[in-house]
């Protein structure tokens, strides 16, 4: 089946530094990838949608200059949290969908990245 | 925008049946999903409904009524491992068909 990986699975960084999270589709080409954020005991909140080769579409309230998304290839999207602050500590999850080769409804989630900013 | 509502918490007994409801209000609709999520893990796909009716898959069933903006997830023969959060998500027919998630229902299965 389709597998999505994320790296790192967890990261601790100091306030003011930047952190890059990678999301890879391992056995399919992901034309569209989604980035979600989840705070403890809350549901997933969509942050942005990225299509390969184009700029990401950010949800209202998500700062595009703070959360940089790059979907440079059909198997890789990255989310960079710039100038991280403790309130950015969260569980970041990506998901990917291939609208070409697979059923249109299937969307595959990565295992998530736990970010802690100290 | 859209609202997706589901109960915050539910408790049930091992071996019993539990129904988790989800209501939604949306300007467009392109399918409803149920996911299971254990703490600290990514969601795992349970079911997908795009037409009215019941979809059965083993111990799990999902029902959809588009006219009522209503779905439920039915879990039979509950097991302790079913203790998790259950997320209802609606797909929009625009913006790349992305999914909007409800807040999730935390189910606790007791012996």
Residue A31's pLDDT is: 80
The whole-number average pLDDT for the span B93-102 is 76
The whole-number average pLDDT for the span A1-24 is 93
Cβ(A103)–Cβ(A2) below 8 Å = no
Which of residues 72 through 101 in chain B touch A, CB cutoff 8 A?
85, 87, 91, 95-101
Nearest CA in chain A to B48: A105
The whole-number average pLDDT for the span A5-32 is 93
| pLDDT greater than 70 at residue A84 | yes
Residue B87's pLDDT is: 95
At residue A22 the predicted structure's pLDDT band, cuts being 50, 70 and 90, is very high
pLDDT (tens digit, 9 = 90+) per residue, B82-91?
Answer: 999 999 999 8
Between CA A68 and CA B49 the distance in angstroms is: 33
pLDDT (tens digit, 9 = 90+) per residue, A36-62?
Answer: 999 887 888 999 998 888 889 999 899
| pLDDT greater than 60 at residue A66 | yes
Instruction: Tell me the two tokens of residue B10.
Output: 């539910």
DSSP reduced 3-state for A71: strand
Residue A54's pLDDT is: 83
The whole-number average pLDDT for the span B99-110 is 93
Nearest CA in chain B to A112: B42
Q: Do B91 and A44 touch (CB under 8 A)?
A: no
Which positions in chain A touch B98 (Cβ < 8 Å)? Answer: 34, 46, 49
The whole-number average pLDDT for the span B34-52 is 91
Cβ(B100)–Cβ(B90) below 8 Å = yes
**What's the order of all strands across the beta sheet hosting A19-25?**
A4-7, A19-25, A76-81, A67-73
The beta-carbon contacts of A81-86 under 8 Å, at least 24 apart in sequence, are A81/A18, A81/A19, A81/A20, A81/A21, A81/A115, A82/A18, A83/A16, A83/A17, A83/A18, A84/A13, A84/A15, A84/A16, A84/A17, A84/A18, A84/A19, A84/A115, A84/A117, A85/A15, A85/A16, A85/A117, A86/A15, A86/A117, A86/A118
Contact residues of A toward B, CB < 8 A: 32, 34, 36, 41-46, 49, 51, 57, 91, 93, 97, 104-107, 109-112, 114
- How far B29 CA lies from chain A's nearest CA (Å)? 12
At residue B42 the predicted structure's pLDDT band, cuts being 50, 70 and 90, is confident
């Amino acid at each position: 089946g389709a597998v999505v990986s994320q790296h790192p699975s967890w990261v601790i960084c100091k306030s003011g530094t930047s952190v890059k999270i990678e999301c890879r589709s391992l056995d399919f080409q992901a034309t569209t990838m989604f980035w979600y954020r989840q705070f403890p005991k809350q549901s997933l909140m969509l942050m942005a949608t990225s299509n390969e080769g184009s700029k990401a579409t950010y949800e209202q309230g998500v700062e595009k200059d703070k959360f940089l998304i790059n979907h440079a290839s059909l198997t890789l999207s990255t989310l960079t949290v710039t100038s991280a602050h403790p309130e950015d500590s969260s569980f970041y999850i990506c998901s990917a969908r291939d609208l070409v080769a697979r059923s249109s409804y299937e969307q595959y989630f990565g295992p998530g990245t736990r970010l802690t900013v100290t | 925008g859209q609202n997706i509502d589901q109960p915050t918490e539910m408790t049930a007994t091992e071996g019993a049946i539990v129904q988790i409801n989800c209501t939604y209000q949306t300007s467009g609709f392109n399918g409803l999903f149920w996911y299971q999520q254990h703490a600290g893990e990514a969601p795992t796909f349970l079911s997908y409904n795009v037409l009215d009716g019941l979809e059965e898959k083993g111990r799990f069933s999902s029902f959809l009524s588009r006219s009522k903006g209503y779905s439920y997830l039915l879990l039979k023969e509950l097991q302790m491992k079913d203790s998790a959060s259950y997320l209802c998500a609606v797909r929009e027919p625009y913006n790349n068909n992305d999914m909007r998630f409800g807040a999730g229902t935390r189910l606790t299965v007791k012996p």
